[in-house]
Amino acid sequence: MDLLLKRCRRRLYLLDVGAAILFFGAFTQQTELRQTATVAVSQLAAQGYRIPSEDDPLRVFPALTSGAFSGSHAGGWRPGSIYLRQQPQGGLSEMVYLRHELFHEVSHRSCGGRTPSWAEEAAAMHFSGELLGIEPGNWPSELELQSLKNRVRQDAELDGNDRAVLARLVVNAGWPSEPCAVSAKLSEILGAAFDGAGDSSYLLMSLLSGRTLDSGGDQVSRLPPGSLLKIPYAAALAQADPELLAAELAASDTDKLLQRSEQFQIERYRLLLSPIREQKSPVLAAPFDRQAWRSYLGERNADGNFALQASLPELALTMRAALLSKPDYFRGLSQNGILPNSTLAGQSQTDKKLLRQLQVLAKTGTVSNVDGQPLVGHLLLVWPAAHPVFLAIFRQRGVSGAAVLSKAATLLKIWQRAYPARFAAVKVSLLTPTDPDSWDAEPDCPLVDSQYGRFTTCGGFKIVSTARGSRSERVVKGILRPTGKHGPTVLETDVDSYVDGVLAAEAQNLNGSAREAMRAVIAWNGSHGSHRHNESSSLCDTTHCMVFLGELPGDKPRRSGHIDIELMQLLDQLAAESGLNWLPFANGGDQHWQRQLSTDELRRVFAENQILDIRRERRKDGEILIRLFYSASEEMLGCEIFRNTLKLPSCPDSVKALDSQTWQFAGIGAGHGQGLSIARAHALATGGRTAEQILRDAYGQSR
């Protein structure tokens, strides 16, 4: 009875399979083909695969001999449909190719795209019977293996040579029969698409200097950038309407961007991509056809490979160079998510609201497999739109670039508090007597010139200077902006790099809470100091109060991380209470000094025929003044200006006329004696005081 029941069930099952596979055209009369399909589907069902049904059938069509399905193709598959060539070339029959394509169909239904494309191809070859004529023992050579590995790791479609090598591997290594399983041995040999890349990673960079401010996840793996390459492509266009171009970029419209190819400058494109060290020849070759052009915008080449792959830091520097070279081209990217056809249009309203609050320029980049499934998503964010100072790139596996926004929004909220834009940039007038055109870019760090300024692809310039008080050689990082034909050259850099440069000159040995307090003071002055040079809205680099020497060439600067925003907010409060727009600091200390100057020296310095008297006065608010009496007039100077004019160590505590020809000045410590004393800050830190307490001691009203 049980045997009879099993036979009945098998007969019903085979009838169901027959209804689930529909043959069209000449194939309707081929009984052998129908029987092959029935047996194959039965075997796949027995292995545990989900097979076609009467409600969800599979259709088999005779292949046309024109279009993409011509030449040596014998079978093709799309979800729900198989296309077979009648009497195919070679020694394999239609039945073998039918089994091969049937496997692709059930894998699609059962595995949901989880199986790597090379593994699915290997399993289909193993199931179809096409490997029966290959003798085991003939392993591929290292050269053949390396070629196949490269294709697998870029998830490129396998060509005839790749499939032949893969077939020999499968014959020698075997293949598991479990549904959606992958050979462990071949996985170890071939790796996976974009092998080694972590699930997600990010990098926050100063757009001004190229300094990395924050990062997480995999910073090493090299992956294709996808449509992020549209950014340097756009920057390499000689002319474009910024509004129209930005809309095309926001929609990632490849076809419209390609219509601008007449304006494309290949040498400019190469320059902008120079931070990516391992560029392949297709990117650098002149494009001969439309598919070659598409690779310039991040799509696959005609052979299925990507023209280049980049690590996250390399990609960030490339995006930085492109964005800085043509900033007007990209300001319209603030509409990504607002324009209905933009790539972020379908994302969370809450996340898009955050982008609007920060005034973010956004561009997505997705890397897909040969079937269009996302493998890696990139998201580029730059803000604020009016004058961008931050650049962030996010990378996540298995999603589209637009879908990365949900994770990116969490970090954006943190950065909004930790990296406010008002404390992001410092302008420094570089007072060197050398010609700025002679300032060097390193050989592997080329110069990019634009109407907006000069910068290098890695961020830094080497300056050789003969200016008094300046290092003979130093490296400064940022953008050099002219202030007129004969005006000073202004460096715009990030606040942390500026702080590091000033600390190296003013207080390189300061540690602990005293160093943190000093960092906050330098940062506050840097971000509030544009009034020091009204003609260029900048600071200078060699004043007595904030000497900026940059970095020594080849030296790794001592970096203490990012400035403490809470300390910056405290200084806002203390400065407002005391009416300060500049926070003075000095070396301080308790060492006594004494200096004698002749009357003739004083007359020359102050350009006066006769100085009758010099008096030191203190006002009620604590300010110290020096009154100079001349034969026909008198002059009042701030003590800081007076001591700096005479190159005295600090503001003198006493001023005496020793005789008619000699004046004596005496004081304690070094510097102007106001604000934060470096020596006192060190002593307070040694005594256990916090950075906040040191700043209150220096700038509080009770000081």
What's the number of domains the chain is made of? 4
List 627's β-bridge partners, or say none. Answer: 615, 636
Residue 632's Cα: distance from chain center in Å?
Answer: 65
Report d(CA 613, CA 392) in Å as an integer.
Answer: 61
Residue finishing a domain among 143, 170, 190: 190
How much is the pLDDT for 452?
Answer: 79
Report d(CA 135, CA 138) in Å as an integer.
Answer: 7
Residue finishing a domain among 159, 190, 221: 190
pLDDT digits 0-9 by tens, 174-188? 999 899 999 999 988
Instruction: Judge whether 172 lies within some domain.
Output: yes
Helix 31-47 to helix 94-111 angle, to the nearest 10 degrees?
Answer: 30
Q: Are 305 and 353 found together in one domain?
A: yes
What are the backbone dihedrals phi and psi of residue 143, each rounded to the nearest 5 degrees, phi first? -65, -45
What is the Cβ-side half-sphere exposure of residue 522, based on CA atoms within 13 angstroms?
30
Q: Are 359 and 210 found together in one domain?
A: yes
Report d(CA 193, CA 178) in Å as an integer.
Answer: 22
List 365's β-bridge partners, or say none. Answer: 378
pLDDT digits 0-9 by tens, 368-416? 877 778 889 999 999 999 999 999 999 998 899 999 999 999 999 999 9
Residue finishing a domain among 352, 383, 417: 417
Q: Are 411 and 427 found together in one domain?
A: no
How much is the pLDDT for 66?
Answer: 46
Closest CA to 430 of 474, 387, 494, 389: 474
**Which tokens hold the place of 191?**
């790796």
Report d(CA 636, CA 460) in Å as an integer.
Answer: 44
Instruction: Judge whether 212 lies within some domain.
Output: yes
How much is the pLDDT for 517?
Answer: 94
Q: Are 661 and 530 found together in one domain?
A: no
Q: Are 608 and 527 found together in one domain?
A: no
Peptide bond into 384 cis (omega under 30): yes
β strands within 435-540, DSSP E: 447-450, 453-456, 460-464, 473-477, 479-482, 489-494, 539-540
How much is the pLDDT for 71?
Answer: 39
How much is the pLDDT for 588?
Answer: 66
Instruction: Judge whether 703 lies within some domain.
Output: no
Residue 431's Cα: distance from chain center in Å?
Answer: 32
Terminal Cα distance for the chain, rounded: 104
Q: Are 655 and 532 found together in one domain?
A: no
Cβ neighbour number for residue 453 with a 10 Å cutoff: 20
Q: Are 524 and 645 found together in one domain?
A: no
Q: Are 167 and 231 found together in one domain?
A: no
Instruction: Judge whether 695 lies within some domain.
Output: no
Report whether 241 contacts 263 (CB < 8 A): no
Q: Are 499 and 536 found together in one domain?
A: yes
Give residue 230's domain range: 200-417
Could you give the 3-state DSSP secondary structure of residue 439? coil
Report H helices in 387-536. 405-418, 495-506, 512-528
β strands within 558-631, DSSP E: 585-586, 588-598, 611-618, 624-630
Instruction: Judge whether 692 lies within some domain.
Output: no
Instruction: Judge whether 101 lies within some domain.
Output: yes
Report whether 491 contacts 471 (CB < 8 A): no
Report d(CA 203, CA 53) in Å as an integer.
Answer: 48
How much is the pLDDT for 91?
Answer: 75
Residue 100's Cα: distance from chain center in Å?
Answer: 43
Q: Are 216 and 168 found together in one domain?
A: no
Instruction: Judge whether 211 lies within some domain.
Output: yes
What are the backbone dihedrals phi and psi of residue 453, each rounded to the nearest 5 degrees, phi first? 155, 180
Instruction: Judge whether 556 lies within some domain.
Output: yes
CATH number assigned to the domain comprising residue 305: 3.40.710.10
Contacts of 71 (CB under 8 A, 6+ apart): none
How much is the pLDDT for 147?
Answer: 87
Parts of the chain with a pLDDT under 50: 1, 3-15, 66-72, 281-285, 288, 703
Could you give the 3-state DSSP secondary structure of residue 460? strand
If 0-12 CB within 10 Å is exposed, 13-18 middle and 19+ buried, where does residue 58 land? Answer: buried
Q: Are 155 and 304 found together in one domain?
A: no
Report d(CA 490, CA 510) in Å as an integer.
Answer: 28
Cβ neighbour number for residue 448 with a 10 Å cutoff: 21
What are the backbone dihedrals phi and psi of residue 606, each rounded to the nearest 5 degrees, phi first? -95, 5
Q: Are 254 and 401 found together in one domain?
A: yes
